[in-house]
Amino acid sequence: MSHYVSRLRSRPLGQHPGPPRLRLPGAGRRPRRVAMLSVHTSPLHQPGTGDAGGMNVYIVELARKLAAINIEVEIFTRATTATLPPAVELAPGVLVRHVDAGPYEGLAKEELPAQLCAFTHGVMQAWAGHRPGHYDLVHAHYWLSGHVGWLAAERWGVPLVHAMHTMAKVKNASLAAGDTPEPAARVIGETQIVRAADRLIANTAEEGDELVRHYDADPARVAVVHPGVNLDRFRPLGPGATPVTLTGPGADASVAAGRAAARDRLGLPQDALIPLFAGRIQPLKAPDVLLRAVAVLLEQRPELRSRLVVPVVGGPSGSGLAKPEELQKLAALLGIADVVRFRPPVGQQQLADWYRAASVLVMPSYSESFGLVAIEAQACGTPVIAAEVGGLPVAVRDGVTGQLVPGHDPADYARALDRFVTDPALPARMGAAAARHAQSFGWDTAAAATGDVYAAALQERRRHLRSPHG
């Protein structure tokens, strides 16, 4: 069985022994068509803007690969402009349906619960236009979608598969200073969805444990499916966009040559130390920890200033929208504005080049259900310094493809960065190992494992319907 569907790590969980290995039927029937729900963020949105991030990438890539194994996907998302067509073909076998629910613009994620009835109505209208049995299964992403999915699955008589992506109780247990706690209504909503779902997909064993521990999830309904990475887009490229060798004695040199070529394309200095932050700019992602670490590093090594470039690629999101220029002000206050380069969110192809050009990606997040950015960077041949939280210990092999840092003390991150100063060969050496590590996280494997979860949910539903006590 694939390691993507695995036993959750064993440890004390009160009355729960921990979710067992999910026995998926090898010959179980997979669904023909899945209604996938993403209420608050569209798969068509640019990751790194607003609420668009790793979940957008997850839905797009998973849907494409599900369609490739003959599972059609229709993605329902909220319309955010009046000019959007009702339906857009994202890829063969993948349709994005725009649902009118509330004002098109200026609606914060926190205001969306009031629009769930309207969104559900739109989903039901689309369903009413089809023959009975059009959708075999509902796959909801994030708790807002989970509530729509709960009603839709019950109305259609099909299984509900739900992916949390993030959980309120987990986020509230590790808030950044000054960040806003998730509301009680979300906690209640997530608890209801956990009880209603036929299957819960967790990104990692740690997340599966948290579902059982915090939300009293039935361990038998939890399946672990690691997200993937688009290995065609995110990969090391040498001069002239040639493929880079990842094995043998020349692997390190090949990755180093690819880094030099990417720096040429982006106009970055060849001899610079480049620690990169890429993602949504909000307290949860802790870009301020990187800036403070850089200030500590420069205090210890002032001679480094002339060859240090710190790109911050992304846009304000979440609670960061309240103070969109807070990070720029912090850079000025710390006296490092001259080395920090703020860049708006970029498309996936250019993002891959930023990864390739960096000496190291820095992810000091307070909470990450998985950390797709970490896998993307490693797939491009770039090591990662990451907080030892959530799924990041799965994404990053500590000491091999990067370094995990307990806590969020800038001094600890400065020490981790200093290793890349004292050992100039470290980016290439760890980068080659990182690219090899990322090869095991392809979306093909993730989609196949997700299809098995679907099949298990369908088989259980059929068994329940056949039971005289059903």
Q: Residue written as tokens 């063969």?
A: 92
The whole-model pTM stands at 0.83
The Cα–Cα gap between 265 and 19 comes to 48
Return the closest-CA partner of residue 453 out of 148, 129, 22, 67: 22
**Helix (H, G, I), strand (E, B), or coil: what is residue 26?**
coil
Extract the annotated binding site for 1D-myo-inositol 3-phosphate. Answer: 40, 51-56, 109, 142, 166, 186
Residue ranges at the known binding site: 40, 46-47, 51-56, 109, 142, 166, 186, 280, 285, 346, 355-356, 358, 368, 376, 382
Question: Which pLDDT value is given to residue 90?
Answer: 93
Q: Which helix (H) or strand (E) holds 229?
A: none
Q: Which has more confidence, 332 or 179? A: 332
Give the lowest-confidence range in 11-25, 121-135, 375-389. 11-25
What pLDDT shows up at residue 54? Answer: 74
Q: Residue 468: what pLDDT?
A: 63
For the cut 50, the answer to whether the pLDDT of residue 296 exceeds it is: yes
In angstroms, the CA 380 to CA 206 distance is: 26
Contacts by residues 8-16 (CB-CB < 8 Å, ≥ 24 positions apart): 8/202, 8/205, 8/208, 8/209, 8/212, 8/219, 8/222, 8/224, 9/205, 9/206, 9/209, 11/209, 13/209, 13/212, 13/213, 14/213, 16/212, 16/213, 16/219
Q: In one letter, which amino acid is 87?
A: A
Q: Is residue 15's pLDDT more than 70?
A: no
Residues in the chain: 470
Domain identity same for 58 and 84: yes
- Would you list which residues are annotated within the binding site for UDP-N-acetyl-alpha-D-glucosamine? 46-47, 54, 280, 285, 346, 368, 376
Q: What is the pLDDT of residue 441?
A: 92
Across 402-425, average pLDDT = 97
C-alpha span between 44 and 56 (Å, rounded): 8
Q: Per the domain annotation, does 17 fall within a domain?
A: no
For residue 2, what pLDDT band results from cuts at 50, 70 and 90? very low
Amino acid 174: pLDDT: 84
Does residue 50 sit in the same domain as residue 93? yes
Which pLDDT value is given to residue 81?
85
Strand, helix or coil at 393?
helix
pLDDT 10s digits, 231-256: 999 999 877 777 777 777 788 888 99
CATH number at residue 127: 3.40.50.2000
Asked if residue 118 is part of any domain, the answer here is yes
Measured between alpha carbons, how far is 358 from 347 in angstroms, rounded to an integer?
Answer: 17
- Its domain, for residue 42, covers 33-228+443-466
Residues 6 or more apart whose CB falls under 8 angstroms from that of 64 comprise: 90, 91, 94, 443
Residue 408 has pLDDT above 80, yes or no: yes
Is the pLDDT at 356 greater than 80? The verdict is yes
Whether residues 276 and 402 share a domain: the answer is yes
**447 vs 68: CA distance, rounded Å:** 9
In 3-state terms the chain splits into helix, strand, coil percentages (rounded to 5) of: 45, 15, 40
Residues 201 and 96 in one domain: yes
Contact between 85 and 98 (Cβ < 8 Å): yes
Percent of the chain with pLDDT over 70: 89
153 vs 42: which has the higher pLDDT: 153
pLDDT at 24 exceeding the cut of 90? no
Contact 54, 372 (CB under 8 A): yes
Instruction: Say what the pLDDT of residue 105 is.
Output: 80
Same domain? For 207 and 249 the reply is no
Backbone angles phi, psi at 7, to 5 degrees: -70, 135
Q: What pLDDT is attached to residue 104?
A: 82
Q: Are residues 194 and 299 in the same domain?
A: no
In a domain, 427, yes or no: yes
Residue 64 has pLDDT above 60, yes or no: yes
> Does residue 456 share a domain with residue 387?
no
Report which of residues 433 and 4 the model is more confident about.
433
Query: What pLDDT does 189 receive?
Result: 96
Binding residues for Mg(2+): 355-356, 358, 382
> Does residue 200 share a domain with residue 75?
yes
Q: What is the pLDDT of residues 379-405, one digit of tens each?
A: 999 999 999 998 999 999 999 999 999
Determine the pLDDT at residue 19.
Answer: 43
pLDDT-derived band at 212, boundaries 50, 70, 90: very high
CA distance 107 to 104: 7
429 and 361 share one domain: yes
Query: In the prediction, which pLDDT does 23 show?
Result: 42
Q: How many domains does the chain have?
A: 2
Rounded Cα distance between 30 and 40, Å, is: 27
User: Among the listed ranges 189-193, 392-396, 459-463, which one has the minimum average pLDDT value?
Assistant: 459-463
Tell me what the mean pLDDT of segment 322-331 comes to. Answer: 85
Q: Please tell me whether residues 80 and 193 are part of one structural domain.
A: yes
Strand 87-91 versus strand 94-99 pairing type: antiparallel
DSSP SS3 for 35: strand
Give the whole-angstrom CA distance, residue 202 versus residue 164: 7
The pLDDT of residue 3 is above 70: no
The pLDDT value given to residue 12: 36
